[in-house]
Amino acid sequence: MKSKVIVFPGSNCDRDVAVAIRKISGSEPQMVWHKETSLSNSDLIIVPGGFSYGDYLRCGAIASTSPIIYEVVKKANEGVPVIGICNGFQILIETSLLDGALIRNNSLSFICRDVYIKSENQTSIFTKKTNIAKMPIAHNEGNYFASDETLKKIVDNDQVAFKYCNQEGEVTSHSNPNGSLENIAGILNDRKNVLGLMPHPERAAESALGCEDGKYIFESILS
């Protein structure tokens, strides 16, 4: 398994995700600086969380113009699995690999806490092992928005990966932490090889951190 973690100036979950991958897959992921231009030989590409370029202007916007991103898009279109976590999700949205937009949380404040999510799509390589999972979120702009048309398309095409829910798995407005449309926490591309999600599976991948549910997402792909 050859996994690559893209590092932008201001990424800050790059190490965390590398640790999780190493623990789960047993093999060392390769860290790729954003100025590099090749991603050959990748079985999995991860765009990690953090504040690339300080999240200045718009979260993910500046990173989405980095040299490496052209290669990420190319690989994604060739079918290589790509995961964007939190800021990585925002970056993938800015590249248009994923549909819609992530706007400011409706509370207008940063939120760091555990949430529950459940997989809507049960078949993709990322979601097949996860049912209801507890995982932390930590973001300011995770409020998923899409036009009616786009929303219909991603729903009809089974592109909704995860929704925020309560402990019992019910998708309620109370369990929506940030105002996302239809409680959407993560989505897939058309072809289902690109996943973007706001929760941080890498922070919930060992019992010492209070929760292991994040493992399933990595295990799904790595197995």
Partner 1 sequence: MSISNWKYNTEQSLVENHGLKHDEFESIVEGLGREPNLTELGIFSAMWNEHCSYKSSKYWLKKLPTSGDRVVQGPGENAGVIDIDDGDVAVFKMESHNHPSFIEPYQGAATGVGGILRDVFTMGARPVANLNALRFGEIDHPKTKHLLSGVVEGIGGYGNCIGIPTVGGEVNFHPSYNGNILVNAMTVGIAKKDKIFYSAAAGIGNPVVYVGSKTGRDGIHGATMASAEFDDDSEDKKPTVQVGDPFTEKLLLEACLELMKEEAIIAIQDMGAAGLTSSSIEMASKGNVGLEIDLTKVPMRAQNMTAYELMLSESQERMLMVIDPTKESLARNIFRKWDLEFEVIGKVTDTKNLVLNMNGKEEACIPINILVEDAPEYQRDYIIREPSKRIKIIQDQFDQKTIIPDLIEMISHPNLCSRKWIWEQYDHMVMADTIVRPGSDAAVVRVHGTNKGIAISTDCSPIYCKHNSFEGGKHAIVETWRNIIASGALPIAVTDCMNFGNPEKPEIMGEFVECIRGMAESCSYLNYPVISGNVSLYNETNGVGIYPTPAIGGVGLIKDLSKTMTIGLKNEGNIICVIGETSGHLNMSQYLSIIKNKEEGSVPEINLEIEKKNGMFVLDCIEGHLTLSVHDIGEGGLLIAMSEMCMAGNFGVQIEVKKEFLHAYLFGEDQGRYLIEVSEKNYEKVIALAKDNSVHIEKLGFVGGTDLKINHLNKVSIAQLVEKNSEFFEKYTGE
Partner 2 sequence: MLAKIHITLKKDVLDPQGKVVANSLNTLGFETVQDVRQGKYIEVTIDEEDTDIAKQKLNQMCEKLLANLVIEDYSVEIE
Catalytic residues: 86, 200, 202
Beta-carbon count within 10 A of 65 CB? 12
Binding partner of 174, given partner 2, partner 1, none, CB within 5-8 angstroms per partner class: none
Cβ(47)–Cβ(22) under 8 Å? no
- Which residues are at the interface with partner 1 (CB under 8 A)? 9-10, 12-13, 15-16, 19-20, 50-51, 53-56, 109-113, 136, 138, 140, 200, 202-203, 208-210
Residue of 30, 106, 122, 123 that binds partner 2 (CB under 8 A): 106
Binding partner of 100, given partner 2, partner 1, none, CB within 5-8 angstroms per partner class: partner 2
Q: Is 111 in the site for partner 2 (CB under 8 A)?
A: no
Q: Which two tokens stand for residue 194?
A: 């690109």
Q: Helices 215-222 and 14-25 meet at what angle, rounded to 10?
A: 60
Cβ(206)–Cβ(188) under 8 Å? no
Q: How far apart are CA 68 and CA 150, in angstroms?
A: 27
Binding partner of 19, given partner 2, partner 1, none, CB within 5-8 angstroms per partner class: partner 1
Distances (CA, A) of 103 to 69, 88, 93, 108, 144: 21, 14, 11, 10, 6
Say which DSSP state 187 is in: E
Q: For residues 163 and 203, which CB has a smaller minimum distance to partner 1 in the complex?
A: 203
Q: Minimum distance between the CB of residue 105 and partner 1, rounded to whole angstroms?
A: 11
**Interface residues toward partner 2, by CB under 8 A:** 53-54, 56-58, 61-62, 65, 94, 96, 100-101, 103-106, 108, 143, 145, 147, 179
